[in-house]
Amino acid sequence: MTELGGFQDNVARIDLSEGSVAYESIDEEDARKYIGARGLGVKYVFEQGADVDPLGPDNLLAFMNGPLSGTQVTMSGRIAVCTKSPLTGTVTDSHHGGWSGARLKWAGFDGLLFEGEADDPVYAVVEDGEVELRDASHLWGEGFHDTRDALEEEVDGSYGKNLSVMGIGPGGENGVKYACIMNEDDRASGRGGTGCVMGSKNLKAVVVKSTTKMPQPADQETFKEGHQQAMQAITESDVTAPNEGGLSMYGTNVLMNIGEEMDGLPTKNGQYTSTEAMRDAEGVDIDAERVSGENVRENILVDEPTCHSCPVACKKEVEVQAMHKGEEMNVRTESYEYESAYALGPNSGHTDRDAIALMLDRCNDMGLDTIDAGNMMAMAMEMTEEGKLEGVGELDWGDHETMIDMIERVARREDDLADLLAEGPRRVAEAKDAHDNSLAVKGQTIAAYDPRCMKGMGIGYATSNRGACHLRGYTPAAEILGVPEKVDPYEYEGKGELTAQFQDLHAISDSFDICKFNAFAEGIEEYVLQYNGMTGLDVSEEELLEAGERIYNLERYYNNLAGFDGSDDSLPERFLEDGIRGQGASEGEYCELEEMKAEYYDHRGWVDGVVPDEKLEELEIDLGPGTGVSAGDSAAPADD
């Protein structure tokens, strides 16, 4: 039991096989060591054992908020979903914004732990410190948007006011390995196949109904000091200042033109590093500016909604009227993000702005991760060009008309090509000898930062505990934006240590759970003051950073036990070879991964990607019951 401020000291453990709900307290020692949200969620997943089948009843699906979720802390509306990934086989955590995390806290919970598998589809209703399971058979097969609307009526609430709905579409129901969990604001826990796990449990949705009961700081003076410092930093930052440009004006897609200009935007499945290079080499009509944040704001922006306690309002809701196969389609969707636009646009060989908006809306309704969905189609396009999909189907470069329909085809596994692409890049590569066409690390595809241009992203993709990911350690903050200081994106020396530092810092913010955009303005000083003020603790900067390191090492050790080691900390070959097809600053560049890995492992104290016993002991990682291992046991070797 914990008496720390910011916690409700209430976690629901829901056994879907039995249809039962039990309530338990938060262990205070765990709360001190793993903070909350991502950290505690991973600890719960770890205790289930690393050898569970991701789609079996023993795999845990944990919805977790943190001690700062739903508080006055800026950008504290996030929630973590932690589980073993069916896409990668690693531990994964995937977060979304909006109001879900805040409302779960206000409804009286720190977390919901789903295990087992329901005989028939169900949804969970969370209200006033209790969880109830209800029949969802009538919702199975429905898109998420219709599901959300139906549940608003059934639960007698309003998802614009007191209701959050977190659920899956047909993608999760049909076992698409990169299916995601959506919420009522089209926010997604997108990466790692969390929606696929949810579907395997016959869990259609989680509905949270609450009033606003914002937790109060245990130490008001310390919290006030930290909060004032944080607000000042956010309003003075060029990146986060409200209504001053950057994220506030253009959302995450402010990076589209920047990535293009610095020759670091993966294009045509990473064959080029900018749309300009592809246009000049092949004579095609493609231009990143058409899908940029500036273009979106000028032409199709209709609203700028925000998440709980956020002055930045980075979300850009758009509305388009576009022709699709002779039919006029009107779509209003939230939000036109950089990563989504990259994968569904330039990396797939086109820059049709309105077609991307249609694809975003369809991905959201079907419940598919937009990054993996777009990159899987780009992989299929390259495979089509090379004749590797004969007899299965085909998809041509830039064919956005077919791409729009392919999203639902994949979600419902309607044909041979869709069924193949639903399995994710690793299984497609193995089935069709297409490893050279995959832009994946540990089975998850890369984001919109080319590691030949931004070397920190190279080591970041390779060492991410959840597969290729820009959000485990966001080095573009330093390489592009100069936060906390500007570093040369093409320089590889020092990037191993820099990446590890970012990874530990983001493990902290993910466990609070607050938006990573805070880190564009705030630093460890503001984090410590707000955390101490809310919880009543008196941790130092060093102790909080050690907690971030502990969380990252626990995740890595889980992966070691699941069979991963340094050989899995790799990159696609095209990023490691010299002489790339570019015409700007990146021409001839490659990613010096092995040099960065050596520096990174040395800083981490790992041996070939494996956490040694002495590091576990140094960080006081208690492996706990149910794992079948103790701190003196060796990690399992990799099996692939």
Question: Which CATH number do you get for residue 299?
Answer: 1.10.569.10
> What pLDDT shows up at residue 580?
66
Which residue, of 381, 408, 438, is where some domain finishes? 438
Q: What angle do CA 98, 166, 510 make, to 5 degrees?
A: 50
What is the pLDDT confidence band of residue 633, given thresholds at 50, 70 and 90? very low
The pLDDT of residue 159 is above 80: no
Whether residues 311 and 376 share a domain: the answer is: yes
Tokens standing for 464? 């991410």
Rounded to 5 degrees, φ, ψ at 96 are: -140, 155
C-alpha 567/C-alpha 547 separation (Å) is 27
Return the pLDDT at 634: 40
Q: pLDDT tens-digit profile of 59-79?
A: 999 999 999 999 999 999 999
Higher pLDDT, 156 or 37: 37
Q: For a pLDDT cut of 70, what percent of the chain falls above it?
A: 96
- How does residue 558 score in pLDDT terms, banded at 50, 70 and 90? very high
**Does residue 640 have a pLDDT over 80?**
no
Same domain, 427 and 548: no
* Residue 631 forms part of a structural domain: no
The answer to whether residues 42 and 183 belong to one domain is: yes
Q: CA dihedral defined by 503, 506, 512, 516, rounded to 10 degrees?
A: -170
Domain annotation covers residue 64: yes
Stronger pLDDT, 487 or 631, i.e. the higher one: 487
How many domains does one find in the chain? 3
pLDDT band at 312 (very low <50, low <70, confident <90, very high): very high
- 3-class DSSP string for 211-276: CCCCCCCCCHHHHHHHHHHHHHHHHHCCCCCCCCCHHHHHHHHHHHHHHHHCCCCCECCCCECCHH
Contact between 259 and 451 (Cβ < 8 Å): no
Q: Does 389 share its domain with 424?
A: yes
Q: What is the pLDDT of residue 635?
A: 44
Residue type, position 608, single letter: D
Q: Is 10 exposed, middle or buried (0-12, 13-18, 19+ CB in 10 A)?
A: middle
**pLDDT tens by residue, 330-380:** 999 989 999 999 999 999 999 999 999 999 999 999 999 999 999 999 999
Question: Final residue of a domain: which of 185, 209, 233?
Answer: 209
Structural domain containing residue 111: 11-209
Quickly state the pLDDT bin for 161 (edges 50, 70, 90).
confident
Please report which confidence band the pLDDT of residue 636 belongs to, taking 50, 70 and 90 as the band edges: very low
Q: How would residue 629 be classed by pLDDT, with cut points 50, 70 and 90?
A: very low
pTM of this structure: 0.96
The verdict on 422 and 273 lying in the same domain is: yes
Cα 568 from Cα 122, distance rounded (Å): 37
Q: Which ranges in 107-218 belong to alpha helices (H)?
A: 144-155, 170-173, 194-200
Cα dist from 212 to 36, 105, 361, 553, whole Å: 21, 9, 30, 36
Considering the domain architecture, whether residues 405 and 468 belong to the same structural domain is answered as no
532 and 494: one domain? Answer: yes
For residue 578, the model assigns a pLDDT of 65
Region 21-40: what's the mean pLDDT? 97
Cα–Cα distance measured from residue 631 to residue 40, given in angstroms and rounded to the nearest whole number: 19
Flag whether 519 is in a domain.
yes
Whether residue 183 sits in one domain with residue 45: yes
Evaluate whether residue 237 is within a structural domain.
no
Question: Are residues 390 and 466 both part of a single domain?
Answer: no
- CA quadruple 607, 610, 614, 619: dihedral sign: positive
For 407-460, write each residue's pLDDT tens digit.
Answer: 999 999 999 999 999 999 999 999 999 999 999 999 999 999 999 999 999 999
Q: Are 400 and 487 contained in the same domain?
A: no
Helices 495-512 & 593-604 angle (0-180, nearest 10): 60
Query: What is residue 631's predicted lDDT score, i.e. its pLDDT?
Result: 38
Mean residue pLDDT across the chain: 94
Question: In this structure, is residue 595 part of a structural domain?
Answer: yes
Tens-digit pLDDT profile for residues 240-254: 998 878 999 999 999
Task: Give, rounded to a whole angstrom, the gap between the first and last alpha carbons of the chain.
Answer: 41
Question: Based on the domain organization, do 420 and 490 belong to the same domain?
Answer: no
Does the residue 260 lie in any domain? no
**What CATH number is associated with residue 144?**
3.60.9.10
What's the rounded mean pLDDT across residues 626-636? 41
CATH number at 589 reads 1.10.599.10
- CB neighbours of 75 closer than 8 A, spacing ≥ 6? 97, 307, 309, 310, 312, 514, 515, 517, 518
Beta-bridge mates of residue 64: 80, 111
